[in-house]
A and B are shown apart, each in its own frame.
Chain A
Amino acid sequence: MSAAAIRRIVVVGNGIAGLTAADSLRGAGFDGELTIIGDERHPACSRPALSKALLSDCADLTSHQLPAPTHGALEIAGRRACGLDAERRRVALDDGTELPYDRLVVATGSRARRLSDLAGELTLRGLDDALALRERLAARPSVVVVGGGPLGMEVASGCVAARCQVTVVSQGMPLEMQLGPHLARVFAEAAQGRGVALVQTESARLEEHGGATRVVLEEDIVLEAELVVSAVGDVPNTEWLAGTSLVTDGVVRVDARGLARPDVAAVGDLAVFPTPYGMRRIPLWSTAIAHSKVAAAALVHGEAAPPLQFQPYFWTEQFGLSLKAVGFLPLNGPPVYVDGGPGGPALMRWTHEDGRGAAAALNYRIPIPRLRRITEDAATGARRAA
């Protein structure tokens, strides 16, 4: 089918990936019928803000709001896609209707992974979760956060800001898996400096005891708290694709243009795509955006559209530290200081074994394009040294 014959495009999932895909489809020249289906009641919001400004600020309840969309699509909100017939090109909705398409964007993101089905286990993924958590924190409960990744640590930081007593339970040092040992140590010290107790464990589980939820560590040591929040990763929302050849092991694998097949793109948190370090899922804000732009162009223009040139961008804010990092994480070994020194403010760079550079700014205001250039310096510097 030529681009002109594409009349109908359906986008399933109304998060930042779906939204950007819809905008980008228009940008790529698609002026046919565009439909977006999303199962949330709220308009798409900035999830990164939910665990940062929204948890810590006392006043600003708007930090997560995104500008209104400009794609002019038909938006079907509060409806869930529950099946796909990829051969007949139809999406089935939970109200029994079927939507035909010429091209499909799969952008249903992921949800919080849970450790139990206890009501006492709180997770943070959507706006309702953030508002509920914020309200609970206002009463200053004691909190155990299970999970020492960026989300768990941001939640812990929000707890500290709300003046709660907080313990973080993590496998190994918090953030070490994500950021590498050097940066992880900086964050762990900042957290401890603000009174956070860090507990390392192999595997924690949750149980209900006397009407409260508590955390059981490996040697049957029990942590009790008034509030238990888990932040232990995410699960891609791909169940609705069951029975199609699009899903393997719960994720959708795509090519360098974000396509799972010529007429189906998959973007954002549920997609596994080629990176220099193999096929990976990199569930980050800017991944979702970069991906969606490339995939939208590929849906309309096919092979003529350029493949993804991708370098991850990650940021976090917690315990008075603000980090921006460009390049593939984690970062191993000590950094080279481009500016500043240990603990920050600092501008640092690393060189991966394959010569690829990465750079991080800690409490250091720098535009991302400049941070990207520093990763290039790291790479050429390494080549020169070799």
Chain B
Amino acid sequence: MKIVLDRARCEGHGLCEEAAPDLMHLDDDGELVIDREEITEAELAAANAAVRVCPVAALRIE
């Protein structure tokens, strides 16, 4: 499973980082960086929480 970011949609709220700090963070310019694209079963709950919290649905899991 993979976390996919639609960069054009991302507004840099960083709510996703709050939900899954081990998987993604916003850099100093406020750009979202996915630290772990390929995720394990154990990380799925955190990844799902990050996807859900994004108000513009810029993240998805494939």
B-binding residues in A (CB < 8 A): 19-20, 23-24, 27, 46, 48-49, 53, 63, 65-67, 70, 285-286, 289, 293, 313, 315, 324, 365-370
Contacts and interface: CB of A to CB of B under 8 A. Distances in A.
Nearest to A68: B60
Most central of A49, A65, A365 by chain B CB within 10 Å = A365
A41 B25 CA distance: 35
B45 A365 contact: no
B21 A369 contact: yes
Nearest to B45: A27
Contacts of A315: 13
B39 interface: no
B51 interface: yes
21 contacts: A19-B52, A27-B45, A27-B49, A46-B57, A48-B56, A53-B56, A63-B57, A65-B57, A66-B52, A289-B53, A293-B49, A313-B15, A315-B13, A324-B13, A365-B29, A365-B30, A368-B14, A368-B15, A369-B14, A369-B17, A369-B21
Nearest to A26: B45
Given A27-B48, A63-B56, 7 more contacts: A23-B48, A27-B45, A27-B49, A48-B55, A67-B51, A365-B29, A370-B14
B15 A286 contact: yes
Contact of A368 (B9, B18, B51, B61): B18
A interface: dominant SS: helix
Chain B interface residue number, banded: 20 to 34
B52 A20 contact: yes
B29 A46 contact: no
Interface of B: 9, 12-15, 17-18, 21, 25-26, 29-31, 45, 48-49, 51-53, 55-57, 59-61
A70 B48 contact: yes
Contact of A67 (B25, B30, B52): B52
B57 A66 contact: yes
Given A286-B53, A289-B52, A366-B30, A67 B60 contact: yes
B58 to A, nearest CB: 10
Contacts of B12: 365-367
Contacts of B31: 365
B48 A285 contact: no
Given A20-B52, A63-B9, A67-B51, A367 B26 contact: yes
B52 A367 contact: no
Given A324-B13, A367-B26, A67 B53 contact: no
Contacts of A66: 52, 57
A324 B31 CA distance: 15
Contacts of A324: 13
Contacts of A369: 14, 17-18, 21, 26
B19 to A, nearest CB: 9
